[in-house]
């Protein structure tokens, strides 16, 4: 390991180990049961929020069901002990497993929905859960509550300190496995599908499947936390798991910082301290005062450095000021707690949209400059993109392909053959059906009629994900990159044939070796399109031309039989068009068959072996580029007067 590697290891892991050791040492000196109880809750809510962060942070979906999973987990554990006579380990495993299954079952329909509808689905699940826990009295004892004993573990009675250590150990385990998961292809897929579910599917990574698994994992952590919750309080009531708790949990995740394990931990500290804060008036006044001071300081800094808009800077100051005034006027803070949560949530959402950790991460990274780990040497291109035989045999065959939108016939009986190793141009006026043809081939739309065959076998219909699996990769006319991910990660999401480690082993951290191999492979592809130097740059920060090239590298990571390029030169300036032509030529040399939709006729003439011209959803001409360009129908419908002639006419006239 190099010096930089050690520095990074000590800073990142050091903070985690020091934090854990500090927390673990507390019971040795502190015997106050109240303090120990708070710390136990901190660990339990930590697990719960790490699970909630998977959906809220990584999937970017508002999940209002996590409080319900806490309740289900708690009751599952409680019932295992009271009715089935199970021990604590069995109870915890059952709690997590029940929530994994229920989470998956809820996710199957709910994740077909988007945004507010998904939030409503999880909200109704929460309402349903409290009702069932209340009414199914034979199992849960209903409103009268369920007493849960804390059974001995391996013959040892579990006192408060031992139980705290158990919770802390489980939090550490969850922390490590989630870190392993999120830094693997799974975590990348979660982030990718938030940026562009369409591209995720088109890269052969099922967006829906990954969302369901992510939600199930998050829910099972809720269940595990619920099990610990049951053994902590040893008394359960359905009213504990209502939506008010859910609002506090969301506040915790948002305030702590999304997409961050430390953020979840900070959020959990807030949740634990909040009720105590509200019950002590002096403490609450002090807290509001500090909040106002921090907000005012941040506002002045933000306005001075022009990093914040006036509204963003001043609204939290106003909210915190209101909180401070309130804390001086109101005598019974408990009654006002919903208003207090609302003011805090408002301040955080406006003033610290990235949460405390998001803010601190930027600050810490300036304080301790840690370079990211060095990238491996690029893998040989022959291994990443094996050269293919180019015998000119039929690869993709379309027969009488049709597609209608309402009453409009976009594709009207297209029959064509793309031969192995060729670059097949597809041109035509806007609205002639080119994009619809490739959208039907790639599975974005289902065909209205006709056949599509790859290597003589029917291609799956109407599923981007399954068509990608069959060996067809594509780029998109209006870019569909994973904007928040680096260029390297964009390619790694799509890589085929590198990732084999099953999910349980990924959780245990066995994916590191293949991760390294994947980086080497992705780098080789970035090198092919000339982006190796920008491997660490976020996709959305690349120039427009580089983004177009990155889409090609990402599609090539699929090792496709057929690569569809949908207007790769649209909006490119002359130097970038030249670079693009070079890239396509290099890809062609490796024997990759391509379908190229393009309006730049010079690019088409230079690269294509065959050109098909569409107009009004039908083929009007086909042949080599020079023949097609002279075809009178093509000139009339598509080319107009030759560019040179138009240019000269303009020069003469103007």
Interface residues with other proteins (CB under 8 A) are 306-307, 408, 427-432, 477-478, 541, 543-546, 567, 570-576, 578, 599, 601, 637-641, 643, 646-647, 650-651, 654
Cβ-contact 50, 175 below 8 angstroms = yes
Q: In whole angstroms, how close is the CB of 58 to other proteins at the nearest point?
A: 22
Q: Please, which residues bridge with residue 406 across strands? A: none
Of the candidates 554, 564, 558, the one whose C-alpha atom is nearest the C-alpha of residue 398 is 564
Cα gap 511→507, rounded to integer Å: 8
Cα gap 225→170, rounded to integer Å: 9
Cα gap 553→587, rounded to integer Å: 10
Buried b (16+ CB within 10 A) or exposed e, 230-265: bbbbeebbbebbbbebbbbbbbbbbbbbbbbbbbbb
In the bound state with other proteins, the residue whose beta carbon lies nearer, of 306 and 500, is 306
Tokens describing residue 199 = 């591209």
Q: 539: which residues sit within 8 A by CB, 6+ positions away?
A: 481, 482, 483, 484, 485, 486, 487, 490, 547, 550
Q: 130: which residues sit within 8 A by CB, 6+ positions away?
A: 68, 71, 238, 239, 241, 242
Cα-only R_g, the chain? 29
At residue 463's C-alpha, the angle toward residues 462 and 464, to 5°, is 120
In the bound state with other proteins, the residue whose beta carbon lies nearer, of 191 and 566, is 566
Cβ-contact 171, 456 below 8 angstroms = no
Distances (CA, A) of 470 to 186, 423, 457, 463: 21, 19, 10, 11
Cα gap 89→80, rounded to integer Å: 10
Distances (CA, A) of 284 to 265, 288, 332: 21, 6, 11
DSSP label at residue 460: P
Grouping H, G, I as helix, E, B as strand and the rest as coil, residue 114 is coil
* Number of Cα atoms under 13 Å in the Cβ half of residue 137: 4
Q: 361: which residues sit within 8 A by CB, 6+ positions away?
A: 257, 260, 354
Grouping H, G, I as helix, E, B as strand and the rest as coil, residue 631 is coil
**CB atoms inside a 10 Å sphere around CB 557:** 27
Tokens describing residue 626 = 């020079």
Q: In whole angstroms, how close is the CB of 426 to other proteins at the nearest point?
A: 12
In the bound state with other proteins, the residue whose beta carbon lies nearer, of 320 and 479, is 479
In the bound state with other proteins, the residue whose beta carbon lies nearer, of 496 and 629, is 629
């Amino acid at each position: 390991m190099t010096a930089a590697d050690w520095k990074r290891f000590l800073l990142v892991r050091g903070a985690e180990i020091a934090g854990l050791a500090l927390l673990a040492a507390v019971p040795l000196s502190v015997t106050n049961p109240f303090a120990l109880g708070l710390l136990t809750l901190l660990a339990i809510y930590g697990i719960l929020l790490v699970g909630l962060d998977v959906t809220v942070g990584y999937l970017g979906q508002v999940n209002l069901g996590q409080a319900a999973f806490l309740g289900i987990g708690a009751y599952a554990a409680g019932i295992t002990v009271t009715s089935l006579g199970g021990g604590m380990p069995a109870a915890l495993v059952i709690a997590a497993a029940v929530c994994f299954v229920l989470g998956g079952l809820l996710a199957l329909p709910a994740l077909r929905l988007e945004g507010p509808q998904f939030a409503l689905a999880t909200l109704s699940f929460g309402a349903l859960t409290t009702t069932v826990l209340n009414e199914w009295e034979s199992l849960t004892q209903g409103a009268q509550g369920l007493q849960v004993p804390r059974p001995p573990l391996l013959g040892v009675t579990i006192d408060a300190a031992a139980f705290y250590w158990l919770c802390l150990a489980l939090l550490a385990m969850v922390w490590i496995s989630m870190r392993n998961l999120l830094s693997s292809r799974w975590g990348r897929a979660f982030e990718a599908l938030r940026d562009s579910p369409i591209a995720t599917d088109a890269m052969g990574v099922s967006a829906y499947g990954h969302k369901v698994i992510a939600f199930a994992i998050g829910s099972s952590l809720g269940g595990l936390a619920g099990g610990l919750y049951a053994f902590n309080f040893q008394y359960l009531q359905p009213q504990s798991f209502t939506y008010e708790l859910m609002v506090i949990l969301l506040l915790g995740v948002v305030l702590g910082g999304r997409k961050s394990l430390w953020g979840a931990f900070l959020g959990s500290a807030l949740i634990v301290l909040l009720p105590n804060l509200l019950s002590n008036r002096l403490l609450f006044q002090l807290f509001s005062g500090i909040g106002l001071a921090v907000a005012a300081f941040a506002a002045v800094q933000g306005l001075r450095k022009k990093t914040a808009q006036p509204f963003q800077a001043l609204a939290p100051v106003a909210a915190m000021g209101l909180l401070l005034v309130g804390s001086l006027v109101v005598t019974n803070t408990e009654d006002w707690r919903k208003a207090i949560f609302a003011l805090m949530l408002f301040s955080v959402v406006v003033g610290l949209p990235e949460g405390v950790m998001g803010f601190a991460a930027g600050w810490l990274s300036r304080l301790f400059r840690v370079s990211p780990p060095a990238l491996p040497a690029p893998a040989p291109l022959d291994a990443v993109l094996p050269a293919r035989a180019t015998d000119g045999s039929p690869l993709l065959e379309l027969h009488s392909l049709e597609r209608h939108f309402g009453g409009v016939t976009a594709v009207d009986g297209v029959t064509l053959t793309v031969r192995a190793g060729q670059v097949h141009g597809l041109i035509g006026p806007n609205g002639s059906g080119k994009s619809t043809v490739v959208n039907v081939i790639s599975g974005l739309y289902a065909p209205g009629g006709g056949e599509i065959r790859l290597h003589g076998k029917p291609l799956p219909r109407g599923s981007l994900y399954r068509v990608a699996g069959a060996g067809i990769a594509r780029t998109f006319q209006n870019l569909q990159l994973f904007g928040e991910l680096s260029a390297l990660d964009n390619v790694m999401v799509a890589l085929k044939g590198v990732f084999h480690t099953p999910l349980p082993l990924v959780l245990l951290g066995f994916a590191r070796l293949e991760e390294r191999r994947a980086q080497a492979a992705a780098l080789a592809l970035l090198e092919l399109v000339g982006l190796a130097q920008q491997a660490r740059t976020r996709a959305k920060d690349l120039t427009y031309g580089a983004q177009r090239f990155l889409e090609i590298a990402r599609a090539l990571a699929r090792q496709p039989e057929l690569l569809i390029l949908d207007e790769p030169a649209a909006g490119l300036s002359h130097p970038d068009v030249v670079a693009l032509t070079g890239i396509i030529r290099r890809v062609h040399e490796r024997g990759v068959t391509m379908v190229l939709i393009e309006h730049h006729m010079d690019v088409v003439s230079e690269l294509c072996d065959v050109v098909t011209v569409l107009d009004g959803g039908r083929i009007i001409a086909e042949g080599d580029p020079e023949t097609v360009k002279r075809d009178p129908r093509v000139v009339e419908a598509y080319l107009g007067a030759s560019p040179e002639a138009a240019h000269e006419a303009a020069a003469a006239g103007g």
